[in-house]
Structure 1
Amino acid sequence: MSDTDDIKAMRQELTRITGEVKQTAEKALKQSEDTGKVTEEVKASADKLLVEQKALQGKLEKLEERQLEIEQNGADRRERSKPAQTLGQAIVDHDALKAFRDAGAKGSCRIEVNNVITSAGNSGGGLIQSDRETQIVSLRRRQPRIRSLVNVGSTGSNLVEYAKQTLRENNAGVVGENTLKPESNYAWGKADAPVRFIAHWVPISRATLEDAAALQTELDSELRYGLDIAEDEELLNGDGTGEHLDGLRANETAYAAPFAIDNETPIDTLRLALLQLELNDYAGDGFILNPTEWARIELTKDNNGQYVFANVLQLAGPTLWGRSVVSTTAMDAGDFQVGEYGVAATIYDRMDAEVLFSTEDRDNFVKNMITARAEKRLAFAVKRPAALVGGAFPLAQ
């Protein structure tokens, strides 16, 4: 049923209810005159009819408003769909030209179209302005993931020193009374983590920065993102040489399966790596995988074609063996790492990301250029390398 039919039916129903309301009011008036009061039945009937009347009036008004809006939108669309009339079309459609043709097109015909405004460039076209979207469309950004795995602290120096236990000989045991007790042996050494810079810069003209109001904010965001991605790579893959951070992979214990199993799968490998940690008294709390390897694991099926552990309709999150999975392209394809990251390493922030704009760089002043520089400072200490196990999947292709 169309809106028009609904409106018609509602109006008829409203007329009927209004009539009943009138009859009930007359009945109540007569009872009041005859007996001095109105029965509860008449009161209830009147209240019910008034409620129905009010509700129906509300529905009818909304439906009429919607129909009016539809009609107006349709009229607007029809008007907008009309092609812009050029000067030639205005002449062809002119009544004077039609009369001239009907009269045999003899003699001359004067047609005035001076007031015709069209979308042509020499008419009204110059007044038409295109819409301008103010939001800048940036390239897709990768989400930094490694910082969220480890502990984060701060430092006010350029070097973080800490004590690290290097020896534990625990000889505690049961002894008899009045006998010599066994001696244990412990040792600690000093370790340190130097604060490193992560930085980059980009030149930009002063005029561009001043004329594009949103560019400075966008540039600031891009430079900070660059720092975060460089940090993400260093935390995982820094080799500790030169000015590089001493990252997680450079300190991991090589994967060595505690026991062999037939047809070892990537899922098996990760469980055996967890066992390797557990045998060293560490309980792994997460995996770091390349997205390709994580997809390979999620797509693992049994002999019946059923997914081994993933429910594609109700996937709660990236977890395996009860531990979270961090899927990132910072990890090389075919490799993995498992660790108890909460105790394995600590970031010490020395300076949060800072973005500065300056004209005092080389010949910037005479060229009206600005240098935008972003940098941050931090130290990274992998305090318990034994809490990290990593390697390559035996069956990675």
Structure 2
Amino acid sequence: MDELLKAELANIKTGLETKTALEVKSQIDAFEAKVNTEFKSANAIELKSVKEELQGKLDALQAHADKLDLKLQEKGTAANVKSYDAVMQNALKDNFDSVSKVTKGKSTSLEIKAVGNMTIATNLTGSAVATVQDGVSIVPSQKINFTDLVPTVNSATGIYVIYRETGAEGSISTQTEGASKSQQDYDLTAVTFNAAYLSGFTRYSKQMAQDLPFLQSFLPMALRRDYFKAENLQFYTALAAAATASTTAKTVDVEQLVDDMGSLEAIDYDVTGIVLNPKDWANIAITKPNDYSLPGIVTFVNGKLAINGVPVYKASWVPVDKYLMGDWAYAKKIAVDGLAVEFFEQDADNVTKNLITARIEQRVVLGIDRPNAFILGDFGNVV
């Protein structure tokens, strides 16, 4: 074997002795013997080429060992150094055949990976197995809808007319013998309510429908929830604009409500419900004298609050600090058709884009028979 190659191998062996255990030296000795045998008949030029390739591989290995040694020295534990020596020995042993067969134009690589604890972050390529919950964690609906308080009537057309009594002249009185009886007349006004479609739609791809099977059940629930939110707000706005504004001089919340109840009952309306924001409902529920009992006129049983026997409803569609009370039989939801959720593939450019349209709509209007059957009040708590 070429003497220059022998000298280079001796230098490599000496350099590694300071970095690895005696077993590494033994492996290199064996490597040297095998090279002597396999390349005994090779010429000097070929041996020089082989030596250069081997030298490059082992130089890279030496540099890697130096870097690892510096890190191990920083940690300052002999156990880690031994661990590295063991890894180095295993790497040389596992790759000895491929390294020893290196010739001109044929190279090999040697990778060293330190043994450690397996973790998802370091040992897994990709994602771990996930458990997927069925359906959607949906945003809740409002606790009470306007239509829970008023009746619903159907109309054959979108034009709904009521005749409202608006005045009277004369009187009914005791007749004086021989005199004319008293005369009474009444004034009526036709009031027209025009229904309009309250609607909305969403559009999604067929791929989404296929890949998310729960979409067909989720969308109708979500659309109905948001439809009623819109209807609640529309009907509240209409009734609040028509209702009589409170004129009570009371400043305590419960006293204001009781005073306004008296005002409605004084003109012969029955107060069948009080609607207010959940925050104001809570303020009333925790109104307590020093003995921690509720005011005598307020009852709170099984989560249901009542004032003088009149139920108090929590509705998030009523603004904070406002309340609406009245005889709810004097308002109604007028519906021309039923609330419908429908799906369409033939809509706009759905065919060319593989889309599906989901639509919700109903033609409705709030009919108010007697605006003065309702009072809109302000607690005056919000500045």
Q: Is the TM value for this pair above 0.5?
A: yes
Are residues 394 and 208 of structure 1, via their aligned partners in 2, closer, same or farther at CA, if it must alter by over 3 Å? closer
* Per-residue deviation, 1:337: 1.2
Counterparts of 2:278 and 2:148, CA distance in 1 = 18
Contact 2:160–2:192, Cα closer than 8 Å, also in 1: yes
State whether structure 2 residue 332 is matched by structure 1 residue 341.
Answer: no
Are residues 350 and 268 of structure 1, via their aligned partners in 2, closer, same or farther at CA, if it must alter by over 3 Å? same
| 2:374 equivalent in structure 1 | 388
SS in 2 for 1:203: strand
Paired residue type of 1:357: F
Instruction: Specify which of 351, 365, 372 is matched with residue 351 of structure 2.
Output: 365
| 2:72 equivalent in structure 1 | none
State whether structure 2 residue 206 is matched by structure 1 residue 194.
Answer: no
Alignment map for 1:102-121 (pairs within 5 Å): none
* Per-residue deviation, 1:248: 1.2
| 1:318 equivalent in structure 2 | 305
Counterparts of 2:381 and 2:295, CA distance in 1 = 17
Counterparts of 1:271 and 1:330, CA distance in 2 = 22
Are residues 339 and 162 of structure 1, via their aligned partners in 2, closer, same or farther at CA, if it must alter by over 3 Å? same
Instruction: Specify which of 230, 242, 247 is matched with residue 251 of structure 1.
Output: 242
Paired residue type of 1:381: G
State whether structure 2 residue 279 is matched by structure 1 residue 288.
Answer: no
Question: Bigger shift: 365-374 or 194-203?
Answer: 365-374
* Per-residue deviation, 1:395: 4.4
* Per-residue deviation, 1:271: 0.6
Give the TM-score taking structure 1 as reference length. Answer: 0.61
Are residues 282 and 346 of structure 1, via their aligned partners in 2, closer, same or farther at CA, if it must alter by over 3 Å? same
* Per-residue deviation, 1:274: 0.6
Paired residue type of 1:368: N
| 1:155 equivalent in structure 2 | 155
Paired residue type of 1:363: D
Counterparts of 1:285 and 1:292, CA distance in 2 = 21
Contact 1:227–1:376, Cα closer than 8 Å, also in 2: no
Contact 1:145–1:326, Cα closer than 8 Å, also in 2: no
Counterparts of 2:232 and 2:321, CA distance in 1 = 19
* Per-residue deviation, 1:273: 0.6
Alignment map for 1:48-197 (pairs within 5 Å): 130-169=130-169, 171-197=171-197
Q: Which runs of 5+ in 1 are unaligned?
A: 1-117, 238-246
* Per-residue deviation, 1:145: 2.3
Q: Which runs of 5+ in 2 are unaligned?
A: 1-117
Paired residue type of 2:243: E
| 1:376 equivalent in structure 2 | 362
* Per-residue deviation, 1:253: 0.4
| 2:94 equivalent in structure 1 | none
State whether structure 2 residue 259 is matched by structure 1 residue 272.
Answer: yes
* Per-residue deviation, 1:149: 1.0
Paired residue type of 1:317: K
Between Structure 1 and Structure 2, whose CA radius of gyration is higher? 2
| 2:97 equivalent in structure 1 | none
* Per-residue deviation, 1:335: 0.9
Paired residue type of 2:180: L
* Per-residue deviation, 1:265: 0.5
Counterparts of 1:266 and 1:216, CA distance in 2 = 46
Paired residue type of 1:319: A
Question: Bigger shift: 380-389 or 170-179?
Answer: 170-179
Paired residue type of 1:333: V
Contact 1:290–1:335, Cα closer than 8 Å, also in 2: yes
Are residues 226 and 316 of structure 1, via their aligned partners in 2, closer, same or farther at CA, if it must alter by over 3 Å? closer
Are residues 316 and 356 of structure 1, via their aligned partners in 2, closer, same or farther at CA, if it must alter by over 3 Å? closer
Are residues 296 and 316 of structure 1, via their aligned partners in 2, closer, same or farther at CA, if it must alter by over 3 Å? closer
Contact 1:302–1:308, Cα closer than 8 Å, also in 2: yes
Are residues 311 and 147 of structure 1, via their aligned partners in 2, closer, same or farther at CA, if it must alter by over 3 Å? closer
* Per-residue deviation, 1:396: 4.7
* Per-residue deviation, 1:363: 2.5
Are residues 395 and 214 of structure 1, via their aligned partners in 2, closer, same or farther at CA, if it must alter by over 3 Å? closer
Aligned alpha-carbon RMSD (Å): 3.2
SS in 1 for 2:338: strand
For residues 270-291 of structure 1, give each alpha carbon's deviation from its aligned partner in whole angstroms, at most 9, with x where no partner exists.
0111111112221211101111
